[in-house]
Amino acid sequence: MSKSETFAKFDNGQFVIPNCKREFGDIPWTKHPKFEGVELKHLVTAQDTDGQFSYDLVRIAPNKSIKNHIHEKQLETHEVVGGSGTCINAGTRIEYETGIISMMPAGIEHAVTAGADGLYLFAKFFPASC
């Protein structure tokens, strides 16, 4: 799976606020606990923000999916930073390509499937998911 230049910069970027700087390259990728071919990098966690929000990088292997699911309490956004695929958001099919931003309010069913070149997302959760 090839990375886009933008995704590579996020993968090795930094979280910077007064009195805190975190190197994303030092954060390990973890396999998604439910979905094969999906990996997460927890950039900013609930611990960092007193539960207000969290940020993840998500990479989905070619033709793999995050199956239909709901976040009961979190609004989720996806910023597509590389690759391509589709998102079914509240029953509507959205083509995912670099530059697309999509939002799923709490309680909305959604699923994401990577295309043949994989899919790279910057996902944000309000309040935090982890």
CATH number at residue 33: 2.60.120.10
For residue 129, give Cα distances in angstroms to 18, 19, 42, 82.
Answer: 23, 24, 10, 23
Number of domains present in the structure of the chain: 1
For residue 95, give Cα distances in angstroms to 36, 87, 98, 100.
Answer: 21, 7, 10, 8
| Res 117: pLDDT | 93
Beta strand extents in 24-100 (DSSP E only): 30-31, 38-44, 54-60, 65-69, 75-89, 92-97
Which residues, given as ranges, of the chain have pLDDT below 50? 1-2
| Res 1: pLDDT | 41
Report how far residue 31's alpha carbon sits from residue 33's, in angstroms, rounded to the nearest whole number: 6
> Cβ of 125: how many Cβ atoms within 10 Å?
22
Residue for token pair 């589709």: 86
Burial class (CB in 10 A: 0-12, 13-18, 19+), 79: middle
Q: What is the pLDDT of residues 98-111, one digit of tens each?
A: 999 999 999 999 99
| Res 3: pLDDT | 55
Report how far residue 91's alpha carbon sits from residue 110's, in angstroms, rounded to the nearest whole number: 8
| Residue 73, domain extent | 5-126
Task: Mark residue 26 as left, alpha or beta (left: phi above 0; alpha: psi -120 to 50; beta: remaining).
Answer: alpha
| Res 74: pLDDT | 95
